Amino acid sequence: MPELPEVETTRRMIAPYLEGQTLKSLVYDPSSRYQNLDLALGKKVKRLERRGKYLIAIFEGDKLELIVHLGMTGGFRFEGSSHTRVTVTTEQGTLYFQDSRRFGKWIVVAAGDYSSMPTLHGMGPEPLSSDFDLADFVDAASSCGTVKPWLLSQKPVAGLGNIYVDEALFLAKIHPQSVRLSKEQATKLHAAIIQVLTRAVEVGGSTLSDKTYQQLDGQTGYFQLEHRVYAREGQPCVVCGTPLEKIWLGGRGTHFCSSCQVLGA
């Protein structure tokens, strides 16, 4: 699933086609996954923002927003295909939203009204902004439950999914099943989250072996080449050489080094 770096890369790529542009045509599959889109027709996009894993197009007048969640397999391309679900045309050109598994969602809402989207509504601070306050994070982490699902909940911090949680926990030397982090652990984790996401955004996110995430022109991201633990089970830890492990935690494949990330340490 696209996480913050992939959604941010997508935002940067499609912004020139949308910002300052009027939506001249919007063609979409009849599905409850695409709601109220006709309200956006003929409206001019003021800014294309990102919040966590959501894209948010804010229209001029500040009354309406178009929220796009890429789901598992959603992404934008310059060319249509049998998996095209939404086609958007502005003066700058046409963008095709592809989504083979159809978990993506587009909805036009009154500006700031996220009541129909509980994850967006309750979302924590943006990790690459000054809102991601260290003292607040340390405080929240001191009473957290199992750290990996806690991070995936989007409540302590926005935008992390399975890949970047595993990578950040490895960098911070914290076992994914840890609970109630010490101040030292939480401080390291805060820095690791920023480090991992900053680097991943720089290189265009991660394209996995299924190749579903690509940039507009079909280029891959490159952060998968820098994964230290994600999908590397059985391979030696880059720090200590111990074979990496994979366990299932809250239904998610979880990758870590049992020597570098000791439970209860």
Residue 225 makes CB contacts below 8 A (sequence gap 6+) with: none
- By the 10 Å C-beta count (0-12 exposed, 13-18 middle, 19+ buried), 19 is classed as middle
Binding mask 91-130 for Zn ion (x = CB under 5 A): ----------------------------------------
Nearer to Zn ion, 66 or 237 (CB): 237
> Tell me, what DSSP letter sits at residue 33?
T
Query: Binding to Zn ion by residue 195, rule CB under 5 A?
Result: no
**Which span sits near Zn ion by CB under 5 A: 86-94, 136-144, 215-223, 229-237?**
229-237
> Tell me, what DSSP letter sits at residue 244?
P
**Which span sits near Zn ion by CB under 5 A: 42-50, 86-94, 159-167, 231-239?**
231-239
Considering only 14, 67, 237, 249, the residue that binds Zn ion (CB under 5 A) is 237
- By the 10 Å C-beta count (0-12 exposed, 13-18 middle, 19+ buried), 70 is classed as buried
- 157 close to 127: Cβ distance less than 8 angstroms: yes
**Which span sits near Zn ion by CB under 5 A: 89-97, 147-155, 207-215, 230-238?**
230-238
Tell me the C-alpha distance between 215 and 95, whole Å: 12
53 is catalytic: yes
Chain contacts with Zn ion (rule: CB under 5 A): 237, 239-240, 242, 257, 259-260
Q: Which residues are identified as catalytic? A: 2-3, 53, 252
